[in-house]
Amino acid sequence: MKTSLFSVFLIALIFLASCHSADRSVSSEPIPVQKDAVSVPDTSTRKLIKEADLSFETEDIEATAIQIRLMATAHKAYLAEENRFEYDSEKGYNFTVRVPATDFDKFMQEVLTQCNVKKLNNKSIRVNDVTDEYIDVDARLKVKKETEAHYLELLKQARNLEETVELETQLSNLRTEIESAEGRIKFLSNQVDYSTIRVGFTEKKGLSNRFLNEFTSAIKGGWQVFLKVIIGISYLWVLIVFFFLGRWGFLRYRRRKKDKR
């Protein structure tokens, strides 16, 4: 009897010990903390217009201009505007490059690393999100086209001249709105697909070149001033003639008066 009671007591202890160890093993595992899901906007479908401005000094503007043209060809870009200027102290170029939006960052980096940038004066980037405008115009365009199709069906069923004229007027106004919306969609798509990068670079002129240019300009300017003086004197020939005649007459008068004395 005592043996059976001892056995039962021993089994109970073993059971309690196993339960306690199980509880410890469970509690020792880290409890995962459920975090709120953060929604990340999908930028791949956004309509973004990218623009940038770069201005810098370079050692040789002609070599830099050639390099930018070659880079534009390699990236399937094109020069929308090119302007060369030259002043007394510097000369340079202003380029407006339309580059595919997918190559925007790469083209910018290549300009800064491969165009012999001596001093970076300005670098600015602007991104304009036109997704909402694009979606709105596109939605209104679809509605207008559906309305146009409906008007065309009604025009086929017109029963008199008055209905025909009214429907044709509505269709004409609607067609104008559709063409305007299509033009806006086309413009936005072009601006999104091709980014605009304005690149300006200059080369400082040396003192010897500046002296030669300024000296030549001074000689030319002095000659022009001399010619203008001659022309001005020519306009006053009548006064000059009267001045000399008057002086000659006055001197003659004094001489005669002196002789009489």
Q: For 13-27, 99-113, 177-191, 192-206, which range has the lowest pLDDT when averaged over its residues?
A: 13-27
**Tell me: the pLDDT tens digits for 55-91?**
999 999 999 999 999 999 999 999 999 999 999 889 9
Q: Where are the beta strands (DSSP E) in 101-255?
A: 117-129, 194-204
Q: Is the pLDDT of residue 107 over 90?
A: yes
Name which residue leads in pLDDT, 76 or 212. 76
Q: What percent of the chain has pLDDT over 90?
A: 57
Q: Where are the beta strands (DSSP E) in 63-177?
A: 78-86, 90-100, 117-129
Q: 107 with 200, same domain?
A: yes
**Does residue 68 fall inside a structural domain?**
yes
DSSP bridge partners of 91: 86, 203
Number of domains in the chain: 3
- In angstroms, what CA-CA distances link 2 with 5, 11, 12, 34? 5, 14, 15, 54
Quick one: average pLDDT of 183-203?
A: 96
Q: Are 94 and 82 in contact (CB under 8 A)?
A: yes
Q: Is the pLDDT of residue 95 over 60?
A: yes
Domain limits for position 85: 45-130+195-204
Per-residue pLDDT band for 246 (boundaries 50, 70, 90) equals: confident
**Does residue 225 fall inside a structural domain?**
yes
Q: Is the pLDDT of residue 35 over 50?
A: no
Q: 85 with 170, same domain?
A: no
Q: 200 with 100, same domain?
A: yes
**Does residue 256 fall inside a structural domain?**
no
Dist CA 201 CA 120 (whole Å): 9
